[in-house]
């Protein structure tokens, strides 16, 4: 395991994301209605933090377990949690927030769930870390830490995971690279 962003850097990345979202909000004008929706788990905490910085009052959480295309591979009894969106999403600009974007399959599931709930005016995708490795044509509008173009330089291999850890779920805020074999620290350091 190698930490590629400590708590201070995670805080800066979240603040940078908030500024980028605010810029989009400013361009569209004050009469637009916005909501922040996080993908369980960790995307929901990011959504809460971003909404707090931006003053967005509509904040929700989606659980994509039953919308996954690999549900049969998850296990016999996957843990299903609640989707918590207590506002209509029709006509809203929805910022969909996830911690790590890799294949795009989780985002596809989240989009399908959102469409089952209503018809947002637009969905903006915000991710704290973009790992690269897409299997679906999904691209984020806002990225905190872009590892997708530097994966070879950073020594990230396909079997390595990029994990976002956030309080209160985890014991501190950080972004880590994990795998069976440790990444070369000199190469991982180059992405900081």
**What pTM, to 2 d.p., does this model score?**
0.86
Q: Which residues of 57-76 are buried (b: 16+ CB within 10 A; e: fewer)?
A: ebbbbbbbbebbeeeeeeee
> Which domain covers residue 74, as residue numbers?
2-22+33-189
In a domain, 150, yes or no: yes
How much of the chain exceeds pLDDT 70, in percent? 83
User: For residue 1, what pLDDT band results from cuts at 50, 70 and 90?
Assistant: confident
Q: Are strands 93-101 and 142-146 parallel, antiparallel or unpaired?
A: unpaired
Number of domains in the chain: 1
In a domain, 28, yes or no: no
Tens of pLDDT, residues 59-102 = 999 999 888 665 555 556 666 678 999 999 999 999 999 999 99
In a domain, 27, yes or no: no
The CATH number linked to 138 is 3.40.50.2020
Asked if 39 and 96 count as a contact pair (C-beta separation under 8 A), the reply is yes
């Amino acid at each position: 395991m190698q930490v590629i962003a400590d708590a201070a850097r995670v805080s800066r990345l979240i603040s940078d994301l908030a500024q980028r979202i605010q810029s989009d909000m400013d361009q569209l004008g004050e009469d637009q209605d916005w909501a922040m929706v996080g993908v369980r788990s960790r995307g929901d905490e990011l959504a809460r933090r971003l909404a707090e910085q931006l003053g967005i009052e509509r904040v929700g959480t989606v659980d994509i377990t039953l919308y996954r295309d690999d549900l049969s591979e998850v296990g016999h009894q996957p843990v299903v949690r609640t989707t918590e969106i207590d506002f209509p999403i029709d006509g809203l600009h929805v910022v969909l927030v996830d911690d790590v974007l890799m294949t795009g399959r989780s985002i596809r599931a989240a989009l399908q769930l959102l469409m089952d709930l209503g018809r947002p005016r637009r969905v903006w995708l915000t991710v704290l870390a973009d790992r690269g490795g897409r299997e679906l044509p999904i691209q984020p509008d806002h990225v905190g830490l872009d590892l997708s173009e530097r994966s070879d330089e950073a020594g990230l291999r396909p079997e390595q995971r990029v994990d976002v850890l956030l309080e209160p779920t985890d014991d501190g805020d950080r972004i880590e690279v994990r795998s069976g074999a440790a990444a070369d620290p000199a190469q991982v350091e180059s992405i900081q």
